[in-house]
Structure 1
């Protein structure tokens, strides 16, 4: 009887299975290294004296803004630009900003009134020694000194080049127009240098000449307006200049020869067009009937192309049209020995070339004067 009662009670008990962890889970902590603090915050207090360049406040972001006589670095560090006394203040024109500045006197407060003049420090005491005073006035930093010396060297180099060019133009004008005096040669050389500037920008000789002469006339008009010259003197001077320019322009002009603007004998546009067509005919006759232009013919063509009637663009176009240069030849096992013999004779060279499209290296025989040169 007792056994049955116990058995009935056991049947009423609910057994719930519980799953326990077979492996304990834990978090990882690999970043165990702890970096040192950046020592941010104030380095100088209110009213404390600082020298120029000393740090007043280190920060991340512009929590404090640089005020008068203070600067900010690219890491937002506030530093002093002038020796003085630190001031922490607010500006009524920037109500949401806090400023750090440097006052030049202990009793001075910041900010300075908006319309009041700003104070500047010229030194702690007057310098009585004139040599020391001159040195302080002319003092420059190392970077400023290097820039000044570099600028002076560039200016001197530019003046030397202009003087050399002026001498060359004077000699050329003296040969073409021998009746000019030294003063007239000097004036015309300067005028032709100015014409050269506009021609270097792509303008024709006649257009460049007209621009320079109009500028000279405008300068004389300014002299009359400012009262430095009377109208009669200006008219007389302009007439003399026009006569001199006419005398020179009938005999000389600026043209490009060997990629350089020089003074040559004057030729009208019609004469230049005739000369250009005749030279092109000569070039065509020299190069006619050649699959590959010989070196002797190339030299003759280059001499003809150096004439002043051709511009740089004309020379490039005529070279591409008339000069037929040999092409590089790929080397194979069959022709290698033949090309090696030619290379030993000095008639060409063998060079390895990287072909980017095929992503491979190939050897080529490049004859002397080939039109394709690999870098």
Structure 2
């Protein structure tokens, strides 16, 4: 049974189509469900605080924000830069200037003028004003005021810095006196000028050794610094000519640097000792580490053993300051491992451990559990 449907054509006549027998038929379906609408949020978001942060003629520091905006409504000018969110900030200390550029009349710019009376923009073909350094202050009162000016942070730290500088100067003065006596005894007779040069060289090597440099690095650095100072004196005219410079340089290299490098050295503790080659130092290091492992590993450390370990680790000229700290952490820990015999209490109550027993909890990597131990006083390395 075929279905029949009547439709009207453009002329108004009614036609009958057989749906079952029609070869082509476009069926139109309407939506039966209403689309979801958006919900209105009555709460407005907070403002983004856009706009100028520093106005015309005000002083700014490098990095200080001048303008926050969305898009480049105002463009960065001289001594300023722009971030990826279109924030304009200062690149130099100076005074804010808003201006128009004749070559871009539709753009407004903001720049930083290095002086209060300097307008922006500069003429197109004139050189830009730039900071190349400090200017000499001729007036005595202004110079005194500039020298005495300091920030609040500097003012608060001045007493501490002054005290540390005095302590360092006193330490170096005492080391100069000690070095002068020891070097004169080891090297024998020498002129006063040569002895002072050697003493000053040893003091400089001692200071570099204190900050972790090896003996060879410190010796090379001190030699370089001395020759560089001679070059500066030559450029300033304190040394007459190049011949005098080369003569002073050769004298220092032959009689001071090369003569002392192969004979004497100083470590981070300020001890002068006979110089050892890198091969000799390496052999001595292996001997000391082997002795430490054989004599002081897996045993209770008393005060006498601690002093012996320190003497071995702090042998002059063998280990750097950084290596000494590593060896102390291995052979002189604050608490000995639980594997050391005599450092574990056999029977103890975790709630009432008793006198001389300290309860500690240690995570075991193998069993993935936290184990409770009672440590005796022998587990802790004594402190002097």
Corresponding residue for 1:163? 169
* Alignment equivalent of 1:366, drawn from 359, 375, 382: 375
Whole-angstrom CA distance in 2 between matches of 1:83 and 1:190: 51
Q: Distance in 2 between matches of 1:25 and 1:277?
A: 82
- Superposed displacement of residue 196, structure 1: 3.3
CA change 1:360–1:91 in 2 (3 A) is farther
1:215-249 CA-partner distances (Å, limit 9, x unpaired): 54565577568582353696479648955678877
Partner of 1:228: 239
> What residue ranges of structure 2 are gaps of 5+ in the alignment?
1-31, 131-138
CA positional deviation for 1:67: 3.8
1:169–1:189 contact (8 Å) kept in structure 2: no
Q: Distance in 2 between matches of 1:64 and 1:285?
A: 71
Conservation of the 8 A alpha-carbon contact between 1:276 and 1:309: no
| 1:31 lines up with 2:41 in the alignment | yes
C-alpha distance in 2, partners of 1:153/1:251?
Answer: 41
Alignment of 1:238-257 (within 5 A): 239=251, 243=255, 252-255=264-267
Contact 1:66–1:101 at 8 Å: present in 2 too? Answer: yes
Using the TM superposition, give the Cα deviation of residue 304 of structure 1 relative to its aligned residue in structure 2, in angstroms: 3.4
In 2, the alpha carbon distance for the partners of 1:51 and 1:211 equals: 49
- Structure 2 residue 250 is matched with structure 1 residue 204: no
Question: What is the alpha-carbon distance in structure 1 between the residues aligned to residue 329 and residue 290 of structure 2?
Answer: 13
> So what's the TM-score if we normalise by structure 1?
0.54
Give the alignment's TM-score, normalised by structure 2. 0.53
Give the distance between the partners of 2:56 and 2:156, measured in 1 at CA: 35
Point out where structure 1 has 5 or more consecutive residues left out of the alignment.
1-20, 44-48, 121-128
Quote the Cα distance in structure 1 between the aligned partners of 2:250 and 2:311: 42
Whether the 8 Å CA contact 2:360–2:375 is kept in 1: the answer is: yes
Instruction: Check the 8 A contact 1:254/1:264 in 2, yes or no.
Output: yes
* Distance change in 2, residues 1:116/1:246 (3 Å): closer
Task: Specify whether residues 162 and 25 from structure 1 end up closer, same or farther in structure 2 by C-alpha distance, changes over 3 A only.
Answer: closer
CA–CA separation in structure 1 for the residues paired with 2:288 and 2:203: 30
For the aligned residue pairs, the C-alpha RMSD in angstroms reads: 6.3
